[in-house]
Amino acid sequence: MELSGQTALVTGAGKRIGRGIALELAKNGVSLVLHYGQSAQEAEETAHMVRQLGVDAAVEGCDLSHPDETQKWSQKIWQKYPISLLVNNAAHYPKSTYKTIDSNMLQASMDLLFLSPLMLIKQLHASTESAAVVNVLDTRMANQDFQHVAYHMGKRALWKATKDLAWELAPKTRVNGVAPGVILAPPGANQDWESRMAGTNPLGRIGEVQEVASAVCYLLSAAFTTGQIVYVDGGRHLKGAES
Ligand SMILES: NC(=O)c1ccc[n+]([C@@H]2O[C@H](COP(=O)([O-])OP(=O)(O)OC[C@H]3O[C@@H](n4cnc5c(N)ncnc54)[C@H](OP(=O)(O)O)[C@@H]3O)[C@@H](O)[C@H]2O)c1
């Protein structure tokens, strides 16, 4: 499928992986609606970079912590822009264990990582004749993450929805996922993070933002592919089974 000339909404596009995805899409001729939560200035910087690549960019803010608000926001956004491509990238990464987790922590992760992305997918499907979604997941959903339980459950829910919705929304809307491994250190990580994490996958290094962004672009353009999860993780998912 030709990406050039289409418009994509990328959530959490102000910095880090979201910015990389936006720039890769722009290189492929895609106009961007760049979502941010708090990083308005960084999102404007991303927009500037996108425009330098010769395509349009708009910046829109929304707190995705409240799915009902996300739904209202999405109605306005799809009235304003002809969005046919959606990348659900925004996330958080709070620590939680089964011993410390409470219902608020679990609900917060479900709201941000599963329910708000679901609202955006539903609006895309309702508004567009031919559409494609990539949900950004996490390689660790292939086994477990006992230090980030709420996050893990939210990503697992989105992973399951990716497969279910690929079936449910076909043929109008394709739904795929990209599951990164270790790419960027979380804020506050120790200096030895990169060398420690490089040894956690068979290919023996951390991945690059560009590698995640390329996989996202491929899946958005792959017209005969839906319900697929591409792991960009140096093979780390081989440590565990998906289900
Ligand atoms: N980094 C890695 O190595 C890695 C590994 C595996 C999977 N992933 C996945 O890849 C994606 C990108 O990773 P990343 O490390 O670049 O992500 P990140 O920096 O943790 O978060 C991306 C963006 O999400 C937005 N966000 C967070 N809470 C929000 C809220 N309540 N409302 C609106 N926006 C909110 C933030 O936007 P603002 O700054 O504008 O608030 C943030 O910049 C995520 O889905 C992550 O789970 C990353």
- Which pLDDT tens digit goes with each residue over 179-197? 999 999 988 888 898 889 9
Which of 39, 37, 13 lies closest to 26 in space, CA to CA? 13
Phi-psi region of 209 (alpha: psi -120 to 50; beta: other; left: phi over 0): alpha
Per cent of the chain over pLDDT 90 is 91
Task: Determine the Cα–Cα distance for residues 61 and 196; give it in Å rounded to an integer.
Answer: 35
Q: How confident is the model at residue 243 (pLDDT cuts 50, 70, 90)?
A: very low
pLDDT at 114 > cutoff 70:
yes
Please tell me the distance between residue 93's alpha carbon and the centre of ligand 1 in angstroms.
8
pLDDT of residue 242: 54
Task: Give the C-alpha separation, 34 to 58, whole Å.
Answer: 6
- The alpha carbon of 213 and the centre of ligand 1 are apart by a number of angstroms equal to 14
- Strand 57-61, strand 83-88: pairing: unpaired
The answer to whether 13 and 46 are in contact (CB under 8 A) is yes
The CA 188 to ligand 1 mean position distance, Å, reads 15
List residues bridging with 7 in a β-sheet. 31, 83
pLDDT at 191: 81
Locate the ligand 1 atom nearest the alpha carbon of residue 64 and give its number. Answer: 32
pLDDT per residue as tens digits for the range 146-175: 999 999 999 999 999 999 999 999 999 999
Q: Separation of 218 CA from ligand 1 center, angstroms? A: 21
Pocket test for ligand 1, best of 34, 69, 92, 105 (most atoms within 8 A of CB): 92
CA of 18 to the centre of ligand 1 (A): 7
Which domains occur in the chain, in start order? Answer: 7-239 (3.40.50.720)
**Peptide linkage before 171 cis (omega within 30 of 0):** yes
- 97-106, 133-142, 189-198: segment of lowest average pLDDT: 189-198
Residue nearest to atom 43 of ligand 1 (CA): 12
Q: Whose CA is nearest to atom 39 of ligand 1?
A: 39
Residue 188 has a pLDDT of 84
CA distance 58 to 110: 27
- What whole-number distance in Å separates Cα of residue 56 and Cα of residue 221? 19
Looking at residue 189, its pLDDT comes to 87
Give residue 73's pLDDT.
Answer: 98
In this structure, are strands 7-10 and 173-180 parallel, antiparallel, or unpaired? unpaired
pLDDT (0 to 100) of residue 241: 60
Which residues approach ligand 1 with their CB closer than 6 A? 12, 14-18, 36-39, 63-65, 89-93, 112, 136, 138, 180, 182-184
Residue 112: the pLDDT is 99
pLDDT at 218 over 70: yes
Answer whether 74's CB lies under 8 Å from 133's CB: no
